[in-house]
Amino acid sequence: MRILFILCLLLTANFTQAQTDFSPERLEEFRKLTEQRVVDFQEYLSIVTDKKRSMEERKEAIELAVGLFIEGAKMQVTGKNNSAQRVPIRAYFNKLLGLNQYHAVKITYYDVATVSKFEKGADGDYHATATYFQKFEGFDEAGKALYADKTRKDIAVNGKVGNQDMNKKDLTIYFGDVTVRQTNPITNN
């Protein structure tokens, strides 16, 4: 009887496991969706730092950006002296909103964002890494660059299994921590 119980348990576990596995084609669709979300995130960053936009529009961009991240996610930031620290995502955006040492701030992207293939983790979720390349420039009132750098950042991506619709499961994509991989100050603009 005990062997029959264990056999039933294993069959149920294998059936549940098979239901949450995705085809390579479906995982590629999730990867492309993640690429689009990175583009959205980049646009929100650009809006938040654009002092020509209304404060309402900039705060709305913060809310949209924060909604892309899991609770507790952090952004690694680097300073002029190469110091690094991790700050909560909302705090990071609020800091960008109040960059008063610059008359104008411009964040642009100088290379295509990429997303690695999703791989299933031991936790049952799917994980990937999104990489983007950002150029930050801070200007004085005359339009002279006071500081500029190019940074490569990686975003931890978590695809949580959920959204079951007509016996078909889907992934909900969330961003996790953002890590600075490389920062290069720009001395001549």
Domain that holds residue 147: 25-185
> Would you say residue 4 lies in a domain?
no
Residue 173: burial class (beta carbons within 10 Å; 0-12, 13-18, 19+): buried
Torsion of CA 67, 72, 73, 76, to 10 degrees: 130
> Would you say residue 104 lies in a domain?
yes
Q: Is there a contact between 69 and 90 (Cβ–Cβ < 8 Å)?
A: no
**How does pLDDT run across 121-138, given as a tens digit for each residue?**
999 999 999 999 999 999
- Distance CA(65)–CA(25), nearest Å, equals 28
CATH code of 166's domain: 3.10.450.50
- Distance CA(131)–CA(178), nearest Å, equals 9
**How does pLDDT run across 24-54, given as a tens digit for each residue?**
999 999 999 999 999 999 999 999 999 999 9
Residue 25 corresponds to which tokens in the numbers above?
Answer: 């084609």
Residue 107 three-state SS = strand
> Would you say residue 125 lies in a domain?
yes
> Would you say residue 9 lies in a domain?
no
> Would you say residue 169 lies in a domain?
yes
**What is the number of domains present in the chain?**
1
**Residue 163's pLDDT band (cuts 50, 70, 90):** low
> Would you say residue 6 lies in a domain?
no
> Would you say residue 57 lies in a domain?
yes
Q: What is the pTM of this model?
A: 0.82
Q: For residue 118, is pLDDT > 70?
A: yes
**How does pLDDT run across 62-82, given as a tens digit for each residue?**
999 999 999 999 999 887 777
Q: What is the DSSP letter of 58?
A: H
Long-range contacts of 66-75 (CB under 8 A, 24+ apart): 66/90, 66/93, 68/37, 68/40, 68/41, 68/174, 68/175, 69/174, 69/175, 69/176, 70/158, 70/174, 70/175, 70/176, 73/175, 73/176, 73/177, 73/178, 74/177, 74/178, 75/177, 75/178
- Who has greater pLDDT, 1 or 141? 141
> Would you say residue 85 lies in a domain?
yes
- Distance CA(140)–CA(113), nearest Å, equals 29
